[in-house]
Structure formats: structure tokens, C-alpha cells
Amino acid sequence: MARIKYTNRQIIIFAQYLFIYMKNSHSLLGHLACFTAYTIFGLNIVVCKDLTSSGAISPIALFCLRSLGAGVLFWIISLFLPKESVEKRDLPKIFAASVLGFFLTQICFLMAISQITPMDCSIITSLSPIYTMFIAAYSLKEPLSIQKIGGVAMSLFGIIYLILNSTASAGGVAETTPIGVLLMIGNSLCFSLYLGIFKPTIAKYSVVTFMKWTFLFASMLALPFSAKELLHLNFATLPTSYLTELAFLIICATFITYFLIPVGQKILRPTLVSMYSYVQPIIAIVVSIYIGMDTLSWQKVLAAATVFTGVVIVSYSRSKN
């Protein structure tokens, strides 16, 4: 049987193609993880809106249930994986990541969701890539261009226009209040800081190890404020629909999404991860209009178009650099 001989050049070319294939496959995993996570986040807006508006459970108690539920799942999974220790010097960093990436982010969101329509919520969260981009630019000492500043100004105008035109909608749809808008801006800003600052720490540990400590710290922060309510909450009296929504929030919108986002963070740049927040408005707007939770008006269309245009301008400027 004849032996096939390969030259050094052929071996090098094969190795290059193999490296490119593996790199692209690795990037694809990051894109799929982010796309799936932000698609669930889009549904999360509608589900949280329905659950918090019912008054069955307060925002802080809902947050505590989510952090406890997801934390327990991560700690259980860690029992079946190789043991990984966290350096003591990294625990304060993980605590800070927990405060920014989950505690403040979710508290702002849950307090805002009863004061803002799902569509307006989606429009405001589209500012997250801008925040992330400027945080990353600061840490990398990248100069700000006129194009970036112009894009931010345009998106800011869209938000101001949305606040000034936030009035009650027909059909019993809750109105958007200025406080709701400000809380959602705080939500986006905190999560952007989380994406832009803690990538080195996240990359250092496995997703399960990082998230089990993150949710442990988040639960410790929330329990003092919600323990009394949770002890007196009778789950047996809650409608089945609310229990289903609660299970979705704990398993899908918390455990699965916060498992997938660190996967994307390990592979993709912070700005690119946050760019997937554009999936949220598409999902939330379509679902909320379909089920009659929100209505479409020309003011919302104009505000959305202005915000998205500004984001595109900034994003294009960043890709050019």
C-alpha cells in the first residue's frame, strides 16, 4: 500500500485551516449562548411585568426567590463536577460582580417593571451596548470620536422623548412613569458595568464555580429584606399561572441565562455580548402586543427608531476602530 507523503507546507496549511475552523466554532458557541440568553430575557420582560403587576409578591421577594433557586441549582451541579477552589483575593471581586450583575440589575428591573410598559422597557435596555462600549473604551484607553458622541446624543434624545410622551395607554395598559424609565436606565448601566469590568475574573473560573458564588452573595444580600415576606407567603394559594411564571423566572430567566452569558463573556468581547440586547426589544414587543399587554403608537416607533439609530452609529464607529 502506497504511503501518502505530506510536505511541510501542506502540513502548515492544514494546521492553519484547522485553527480557523476551531476558532470559528468557538466563536459560534459564544454567539449561540448570547442569542439564547437574550431571547429568554425578552420573554422575561413580559413575564415579570405580569407577575409583579399582580401584587402577589414584592420585587425584593421575587428577586430573593430567583437568586436562591438559581443558586441551589448551581451548587448542586458543582457537586458533580471537578472541585475548583476560588482564591480568597477573588471573592471580593465576585461579590462586587454579584452586586452589579445581579442584585442591583434585577432590583432596578423588578421595581421598574410595574411602572413601565414592556415596549418602553425594551427600548431603554437598548442603551446597554452604548454603556458597555464606553466602559470598555475607558478601560482600554480608546479615544472617543465625534461619531460616538453623536450616536450617544441621538439615543439620549430618544429616551428624553420617550419620557415626555409617557402617558397612559388604552385598554388598561399600565403607563410608563419617569421613575420607571430612570430605574431601567440604572438596570442597563449596572449590567453594562458587570459586562465591562469582570471579564478577567469570569474567564479565570468555570461558569458553574463563578455563578454559584455570585448567587450565594446575592441571596445573602436579599434575605434580610425579604425573609419575613417569604415566611408568610402561602404558595398554595397562588394561581397555577403565577407558579408557572415563577418557575420560568427561576429556571429559564435566571439559571439558564446566567449560565449562558458567562459562556459568551469568555469568548466574545463585552461590547459584542451587550449587542445581543437588541434581541430583547424584538421578542418583548412582539409578545406584549400579541397578548394585549402593550399598544403600538407613532411616538413609541419614533423613540425606538431614534434610540436604535444612535446605537447603530456608535456600534459602527466602534467596529471601524
Instruction: Read off the pLDDT of residues 264-289 as tens digits, 9 standing for 90 and up.
Output: 877 777 766 776 776 666 666 667 66
Overall average pLDDT of the 290-304 stretch: 71
Q: How confident is the model at residue 99 (pLDDT cuts 50, 70, 90)?
A: very high
SS3 72: helix
Instruction: Report the pLDDT value the prediction gives residue 282, as an integer from 0 to 100.
Output: 62
Cα 214 to Cα 207: distance, rounded to the nearest angstrom: 10
Better pLDDT: 3 or 64: 64
Quote the Cα angle for 250-117-241, to 5°. Answer: 40
> What pLDDT was estimated at residue 305?
79
Percent with pLDDT over 90 in the chain: 15
Span 107-118, mean pLDDT?
81
What mean pLDDT is predicted for residues 250-264?
89
What is the DSSP code (8-state) at residue 170? Answer: S
The span from the CA of 14 to the CA of 52, in Å, is: 56
- Other C-beta atoms closer than 10 Å to the C-beta of 116 total 28
pLDDT confidence of residue 232: 85
Distance CA 103, CA 94 (A): 12
The continuous run of DSSP H or E covering 135 comes out as: helix 128-140
Nearest to 98 by CA among 21, 194, 234, 231: 194
Lowest mean per-residue pLDDT among 118-132, 148-162, 277-291 = 277-291
pTM of the model: 0.69
From CA 128, how far away is CA 137, in angstroms rounded? 14
Confidence of residue 173 (pLDDT cuts 50, 70, 90): very low
Residue 100 has pLDDT above 50, yes or no: yes
Q: Is the pLDDT of residue 92 over 90?
A: yes
Name the band, by pLDDT with cuts 50, 70 and 90, for residue 18.
very low
- Based on its alpha-carbon atoms, the radius of gyration of the chain, rounded to whole angstroms, reads 22
What is the Cα–Cα distance from 108 to 59, expressed in whole angstroms?
9
94 burial type by CB count under 10 A (0-12 exposed, 13-18 middle, 19+ buried)? buried
Count other C-beta atoms under 10 Å from residue 137's C-beta. 18
Identify the pLDDT of residue 74: 94
pLDDT category at 218 given cuts 50, 70, 90 is very high
Residue 64, H or E segment: helix 59-78
Give the chain's mean pLDDT.
Answer: 77
